[in-house]
A and B are shown apart, each in its own frame.
Chain A
Amino acid sequence: MSDAHEGTGARPAVLKTWKLFVGGALPRSESGRTYQPAAARHCNVARASRKDLRDAVEAARKGQGSWWNRDAYNRGQIVYRIAEMLETRATAIVDELVACGVEQEVARREVEASVDLCAWHAGLCDKVGVLLGSQNQVSGPFFNFSTIEPTGVVFVAAPEQPSLLGLLALLLPPLVGGNAVIALCSESAPLAGLAFGEVCASSDVPAGAINLLAGPRAELVGHAAAHRAIDGLLLAGRPEPSVGAEAADSVKRVRWCDAEWDAPGLAERVRRLDWVEPFVEVKTLWHPVSGW
């Protein structure tokens, strides 16, 4: 976009309006408001409001059923499709990261790691049950097993940096657990995250299964904590008492991730089954056994 101001005779580029991703569509904020992110002051990004969050929750509740009711194999294929589309659009997304101040080479590696992380999680979709479920050897004439089911709708707040890999590291675990996710992009550098929304829009993701918002983190996290139809919170950062206290009213599953986001080896460190665990529910079934 900086091309627009360079050289004589250059073609004025088409500038992009940065929109949210909610219920499979790419809306502006219902509030009509935009903001200029700290790392990309030249962009007007839709600023999600409390009502946008509410719309996202409604979309997520609908999308969750359609996401979870698919075969796990199909969920895996869709997440792999995300990886494919992300790879295809890698150059463009590297540009968005660079536009937010990330060095070209660092940005390239971050996008590659993000694609790889999607592929890793794609393969996890149909293994969550076998890894976290069990057959239980109970006493008595009963067949007993524990299955895994999603908690429901999980609100994710990405770290500020790395804005794409950090977002995916927190968004993918609840997603592969079968939850619908409402993810808040990095407030200061939301471009790659919102571009990821465009990737999802073209990746067979059922409407509402993934939703992406941008805007003031403190405000939106507070709204999410208070929203009773959100079942879980996965937030980058250190625990904030006020958020957890608000979330307790509907007994939300609340987790904080204070990973060292800038330390080396992040791409490997975020491939964790136990990040899926808090956002799946173990269901134990008892069934009598008899030939009589």
Chain B
Amino acid sequence: MRTLDVPPVDAVALETRAAELATRSIKKDAKRAGLRMVVEMIDLTTLEGQDTPGKVRALCRKARAPLAGDPEVPPVAAVCVYPDLVPVAVEALVGSTVQVASVATHFPAGRAPLQQKLDDVRYAVAAGATEIDMVIDRGEFLRGGEALVLGEIAAVKEACGEAHLKVILETGELGTYDRIRRACRVALEAGADFLKTSTGKVSPASTRPVVLLMLEEVRDHYLATGRIVGVKAAGGIRTAKDALRYLVMVNETCGDLWLRPDRFRFGASSLLNDVLMQWVRLGDGRYQRPEDFSQD
């Protein structure tokens, strides 16, 4: 079923614009402010089969105070874990501003009956997660079942209660920008609080053209409806330089309203350390080495 009237995307033009914005030169104060924003926007993530409570606790420590001894570096936005580790994270983050996000709906494939997905969500929310990162059923979406996907997102949104819902489109599996735009429209219509690119388990994960397209979508959605939806770029963003390029896109496409941790996020793990290295370098002018920053 295809009910949405979705205008076309020109792939080359979109990629050209993303590449053009990537040539912005972010220096000095702008870089400092940018790096600080990046830290505030990070969902510090661990989604491995071998995750342990200990690893999650270490991650939470890092989330609360990313650079020990430098109070200017803010806490990250959230810690993102599997549902069973939500209680660990909640406990470790008591008293901080850091949110607990959990992937749910049978992450990463999303291939399960709806009831199980909803149970998954309710479990994570009950355990204290304030943000839910759901995956859409790409198989259903690709075979044209947009109404079904829309219904699932709406149902998950309801199951979230007060928790905020990020909808992972897994853009690397959708094949074309036109499909990505359709997926954006489905998620926006279903009530998503955030559009999120990827699980991190599929390559390519987040790319700048895809995020640019999502930014254009949430911008136009806001202008049409007044509702602000956030964007989360997840997976594959490892360097401060790359993250700043994303921020430039946010800045020049959506502007001030989206340059906030509740409107733009990076889903990442190794990104934080590179940002911290750049931060320290900006402070004392020396290039840093990775081994001086804890690998959590």
Contact = CB atoms under 8 A, between A and B. Distances in A.
Interface string B13-39: 101000000000000000000000000
B293 interface: no
A292 B177 contact: yes
Contacts of A2: none
Interface in B240-290: none
Chain A interface size, under 10 / 10 to 19 / 20 to 34 / 35 or more: under 10
B70 interface: no
Nearest to B177: A292
A141 B12 contact: yes
B10 interface: yes
- Chain B interface mostly helix, strand, loop or mixed? helix
B176 interface: yes
Interface in A235-292: 288-292
Contacts of B10: 288
Nearest to A288: B12
A292 B13 contact: no
A284 B12 CA distance: 19
B12 A291 contact: no
A73 interface: no
Interface in A90-144: 141-142
Interface in B156-189: 175-177
Contacts, number: 17
Nearest to B174: A292
Contacts of B176: 291-292
Contacts of B11: 288, 290-292
A62 to B, nearest CB: 38
A84 B166 CA distance: 76
Contacts of A292: 11, 175-177
Point out which of B10, B12, B13, B15 has the most chain A C-beta atoms below 10 A from its C-beta: B12
A292 B175 CA distance: 7
A263 to B, nearest CB: 55
Nearest to B14: A292
Nearest to B13: A288
Contact of A289 (B12, B13, B175, B177): B12
Contacts of B15: 141, 290
A291 B10 CA distance: 10
A140 to B, nearest CB: 8
A49 B35 CA distance: 80
Point out which of A141, A289, A290, A292 has the most chain B C-beta atoms below 10 A from its C-beta: A292
Contacts of B12: 141-142, 288-290
A289 B13 CA distance: 10
A290 B10 CA distance: 9
11 contacts: A141-B12, A288-B10, A288-B12, A288-B13, A289-B12, A290-B11, A290-B12, A290-B15, A291-B11, A291-B176, A292-B177
Task: List the 6 closest pairs (A to B, CB-CB), nearest first.
Answer: A288-B12, A290-B11, A292-B11, A141-B12, A290-B12, A292-B176
